[in-house]
Structure 1
């Protein structure tokens, strides 16, 4: 595929311009903030590169769209996509970052950090024996690159790791992978649930009242997509002790509105979508690698199946 003209759209477009220009690529580029993109830019372009745009652009004029993030739900979820337009996404250190993010919060729970901090504020000497990772069962929703890397890290500590995927296909580092159609039957003795799933028709509000009533006193971590959770159902589950604590990095509306009750719930930890940040260097490197592979007609490991949504 011949790619001549490329539009790059980002709040950090000046920083990206400096880094991409330094690569001495032969292509023609336009670097723009989202608010300045016009239909003429899209008609000029062979390729469109962006991260989570809010504008509904018409991509039918381009040959290739590349997401600077791992997720492509802003492009595909409940939308029609012209399959003649190639769609790729960024793959970099997301798996390692998310795995370490989740590990930090689960260790915090097992080592009783909050309880010891509370005892300190009251000057009380109250020994509690920390629990071991090797005695825990973790279920990871999503067994792609991110889920598999997370499973690898946890299984290396002796954790019993289960996976849930659309197909139920067995993968390395999981004791068992379960089809998403049967996941509710496997939840009774799970200690922690980690969601890494992309947002698709089948994962929209997957974690709802039916799900939360099948678990018991779990830790729930969401690093996938906010719309996969029914927030009201989660709040009820927290209050009824189906969920002991929740760690939420992604939300249906971002930034999370100030009047959202999740902010004030004592058993909810909130982070501002930072569990898998794409650094500018990683984003540019993945884009350049993908561009070169496209122009050389090489296989693309980051090509999105637009029918599946990931």
Structure 2
């Protein structure tokens, strides 16, 4: 720590888990008092009305809550997000501050989520469950769909997407990806640009979407995309709901252009009870829980960046307002 940094760094925490995050920061900071002696948590709240916008330099916040106060925070210099996705902040006019995302903590959770569902369908677990619950129970060998030899397509091969590659390889799968630049990624057999999405679709068996919400990704998974998938394809969307044309997906499932969709993110959350996704037999709905941030992870990323901030060093995981990620 730079000893010249004598002025306390007053931090405002605005989050639905504000107290838990504050406790985690205090606990971690206590282990390194010389390093973090200058950090002062001025307020930890879930209410945007509690934030003193005139005197907020550093904000640690949930993006949806931060979006309510940042336009009024004229002296804001840095906002550390508690989420991986930051669309509520990227859509604001105010961009004269540093915005850092939460990264490096979601890979393991996303691996569990994605392969929990891929393996469920590979081993045809729903069919065996139905047999067990039948009256009388049914003893029958069901068709299985091994992952070995298939190709996993990952749309959005950033830090989280890359965490899936070694697991896919362990099951004997090939991996291809989509990214804005289509630069080579270690472990990926091929890379495509979003403009090549139909060519990508023709060359994959199962699809995982992890793309952020930007103008380039909205309804990327459209009627044309679904028309190029294989009938046995499983689609897992754990990126953003805006990437999918909902009506086109339902029609594609009804026409058996793909086998099933596992959806964790939606245009409107919570997903309205009247939405047709809830009752479609080929759709599994989860409540945006594929890879949730934990207070301890938020605290660690924040403290690492706080030390950098105090020492006038570049912050990690800085977002580009122009690119949207």
User: Please, which of 10, 13, 16 is the counterpart of residue 18 of structure 2?
Assistant: 13
The residue number in structure 2 matching 1:101 is: 113
Deviations 1:151-191 (A, max 9, x none): 22212322111000001101011111111111212322421
CA distance in 1, matches of 2:283, 2:197: 24
Residue 260 in structure 1 maps to residue 275 in structure 2: yes
| 8 Å CA contact retained: 1:67, 1:89 | yes
Q: If the length of structure 1 is used for normalisation, what is the TM-score? A: 0.93
Deviations 1:70-90 (A, max 9, x none): 11111114x3342x3111011
Size of the alignment, in residue pairs?
Answer: 306
Structure 1 unaligned blocks of 5 or more: none
The residue number in structure 2 matching 1:181 is: 195
CA distance in 2, matches of 1:98, 1:265: 24
Q: If the length of structure 2 is used for normalisation, what is the TM-score? A: 0.89
CA distance in 2, matches of 1:169, 1:81: 31
SS of the residue aligned with 1:143? coil
The residue number in structure 1 matching 2:46 is: 33
SS of the residue aligned with 2:187? coil
What's the CA shift for 1:99?
1.5
The residue number in structure 2 matching 1:88 is: 100
Greater shift after overlay, 194-203 or 28-37? 28-37
Residue 155 in structure 1 maps to residue 160 in structure 2: no
User: Please, which of 299, 302, 305 is the counterpart of residue 317 of structure 2?
Assistant: 302
Task: Note the aligned Cα RMSD (angstroms).
Answer: 1.9
User: Please, which of 204, 222, 239 is the counterpart of residue 190 of structure 1?
Assistant: 204
CA distance in 2, matches of 1:301, 1:90: 9
SS of the residue aligned with 2:202? coil
What's the CA shift for 1:128?
3.0
| 8 Å CA contact retained: 2:14, 2:48 | no
| 8 Å CA contact retained: 1:7, 1:49 | yes
| 8 Å CA contact retained: 2:59, 2:80 | yes
The residue number in structure 2 matching 1:49 is: 60
Distance 1:3-1:101 versus aligned 2 partners, 3 A rule: farther
What's the CA shift for 1:20?
2.5
Distance 1:45-1:74 versus aligned 2 partners, 3 A rule: same
Q: Report 1:268-287 matches (<5 A).
A: 268-287=283-302
User: Please, which of 125, 134, 137 is the counterpart of residue 151 of structure 2?
Assistant: 137
Query: Which 4+ stretches in 1 moved above 4 angstroms?
Result: none
Residue 249 in structure 1 maps to residue 264 in structure 2: yes
The residue number in structure 1 matching 2:33 is: none
CA distance in 2, matches of 1:256, 1:222: 14
SS of the residue aligned with 2:234? strand
The residue number in structure 2 matching 1:165 is: 179
| 8 Å CA contact retained: 1:34, 1:53 | no
CA distance in 2, matches of 1:176, 1:301: 28
| 8 Å CA contact retained: 2:208, 2:237 | yes
What's the CA shift for 1:231?
1.1
